[in-house]
Amino acid sequence: MAKTFDATFLAGSVLVIAALVVAALALTRDELPLVGTGVGALLAVAAIGMAGCAIGGISQAPVVGWTTPTIVLGIVLGAIALVIVAAGAFGWSGILQPIAQFVPGNAATLTPARTAVFALAVLIAVKWLIGIAMAATAR
C-alpha cells in the first residue's frame, strides 16, 4: 500500500504536478512547445495525468480492494475525465458548457479544448487530494 512518502506515491505525485503545470500553461498561453494548442495540450494533460493515476492511484486497488470507496470514487472520476477529454477533443461543447463559466481568462478565446483542459485539471487535482488522503491514512 502506498504511504505518503514512498516511491510510488512520489512518482505519481510528480506526474500529477507535471500534468497540472501543463494545464496551467495551456490555460495561460496561446501555444505550448511540442504539444501546440487546444487538443494537443488537452491530450498531453490527459496522458500525463493518466500516467500519474496509474502509478500512484489505481495500482493500489489490488492491495486495498477494488470495492474500497476511495478506489470506486477514483474510478468514477476517471471515467468522467475520459468523457471530458473526448468532449474537448471532438468539440462536444454541450457537455462542457456548464463548466465554461468557471474557466479563467478571456471568454473570446474559450474553446471546447481549453474548457476541457480546465475541467480535467480540476479532476486531476481532486483525484490527487483523494490519493493524498488515502496515502496519509494507510497503515
pLDDT in tens, 107-131: 777 899 999 999 999 999 999 888 8
Does position 1 have pLDDT exceeding 50, yes or no? no
Contact 49, 116 (CB under 8 A): no
- For residue 71, the model assigns a pLDDT of 82
pLDDT given at position 2? 46
pLDDT (tens digit per residue) in 35-56: 877 899 999 999 999 999 888 7
Query: Which one is predicted more confidently, 15 or 36?
Result: 15
Q: What pLDDT is stored for residue 62 in this prediction? A: 75
Angle at 58 between CA 118 and CA 82, to 5 degrees: 35
Q: Taking residues 78-99, report their average pLDDT.
A: 94
79 SS3 class: helix
Mean pLDDT of the chain: 86
- pLDDT computed for residue 61 by the predictor: 72
